[in-house]
Amino acid sequence: MPVISPNAFAPPAANDTAGLVAADLRERVRRLERAHSVQRVGQTAVPVGVPAIDALLSEGGLLSGAVHEIEAGSTPSGRVAPHDGAALGFAAHLLGRFAAIKPGSTLLWCRRPFGTFDAPPYAPALAAWFDPARLLLVSVRRDEDLFWAMEEGLRCPGMAAVLCETRAADATAGRRLSLAAEKSGVPALLLRTQPAPVQSICTTRWRVASAASHSTPGLKDVGRARWRLELRRNRFGMPSVAEIPTWIVEWNDETHCLSVVPQAHHGSTGADHVARALESRLVG
């Protein structure tokens, strides 16, 4: 008859080492995943500036030397948003974060204007995130030129980040961008006005939609900009409880920082929405 020693129920003596081993193994798996590129060694991770979000990202931030996609999401009512003001705001915030760690560097912004309906980025508003004097704005006529200009920008050592507004999703071009970014350590941001196909190569993909802001109590003024932020892809990152981690974040244009709005207050739930719609109908 086997004797059950009390030791069997006690926590194993080597508990600490097991934990260490597990952490070590996890670390090794992560390194293996990234082993295809030797150049990653010199890369830094730039925090987004929101602890809750940074905790999920690998190394606690967005990797420089990687491709990050930001796409405009649909509105709460399910309609495709007519513009990407929110996505642009978040992209500008990331540009500002990347620019801040590399003083004196340049930001490259590539875009393809489309005629009289064109709405180019407007520097007086972008000044909240970074100094627009550092921006080099490139307009192209063809998508090939767009990716070519981006690659050239990624090879330039004095570049803090390269952003490209595009609707095109070219897998080969995406792969080339990702390799160029890995080699130089310059981050590439793709800003899409429409949701992108899933198979594109990027390290993180964000979907940003504008969310209802919070007025001053008693007034109906436009509050601070709020965005509904979804992290749709998070390569090398930490696993999260939610399938798609989603936050409502608020940009404070006085303190210049981004913060997560507690769920009880963000007021984007359907019921709240209906209530407000009713209220405005009653008032109107």
Partner 1 sequence: MRLADARALVPDLIPAPGEPQSDRRLIETIASWCDRYTPWVAIDPLGGALAEEGAEACSAGGFGGDAGLLLDATGCTHLFGPDEAGERALLADLTQRLSRLDFTCRVAMADTAGAAWALARYAERQADLFCPQRGHRAALANLPVEGLRLDTPILETFLKLGLRRIGDLYNMPRAPLVRRFGEQPVKRLDQALGALDEPLEPRRLPPAFRTRLAFAEPIGRPEDIAAATSRLLAALCRQLEQAGVGARSLEIALYRVDGAVDRTSIGTSRPNRDNPRLMKLFEERLGELDPGFGVELMILAAPEVEAFSGTQDTLPDSGVLPASLSEDGTIDLADRLALRLGAENVVRLLPRDSHLPERVQTTGPAAEPAADNSWQRLAAFKGPRPTRLLQRPEPINVMAPVPDDPPRHFQWRQHTHRIVRAEGPERLADEWWRPRPDGSRPPANTTPPYRDYYRVEDDDGGRFWLFRDGPYALAANGQPTARWFLHGFCA
- Chain centroid to CA 183: how far? 21
Stretch that binds partner 1, among 4-12, 47-55, 157-165, 237-245 (CB under 8 A): 157-165
Closer by beta carbon to partner 1, 171 or else 222: 222
CB of 77 to partner 1, least distance (A): 5
- Residue 193 burial (10 A CB sphere; 0-12, 13-18, 19+): middle
For residue 20, which phi and psi values (nearest 5 degrees)?
Answer: -60, -45
Q: Which residues does residue 233 pair with via DSSP β-bridges, in sequence order? A: 205
Side-chain half-sphere of 207: how many Cα atoms within 13 Å?
17
Instruction: Decide whether 193 or 235 has the Cβ nearer to partner 1.
Output: 193
Per CB under 8 A, does 259 bind partner 1? no
Residue 194 binds partner 1, judged by CB under 8 A: no
- How far apart are alpha carbons 26 and 36 in whole angstroms? 17
Give the Cβ contact number of residue 240 at 10 Å: 12
255 lies in the binding site for partner 1 (CB under 8 A): no
- Is residue 125 within the footprint of partner 1 (CB under 8 A)? yes
Q: How far apart are CA 245 and CA 204, in angstroms?
A: 12
Which residue from 64, 204, 210, 234 is in contact with partner 1, where contact means CB under 8 A? 210
Q: List contacts with partner 1 (CB under 8 A).
A: 75-77, 79, 81-86, 88-89, 92, 104-106, 108, 116-128, 131-140, 145, 148-149, 152-153, 156-159, 209-213, 215, 220-223, 225-228, 251, 268, 273, 276-277, 280, 284
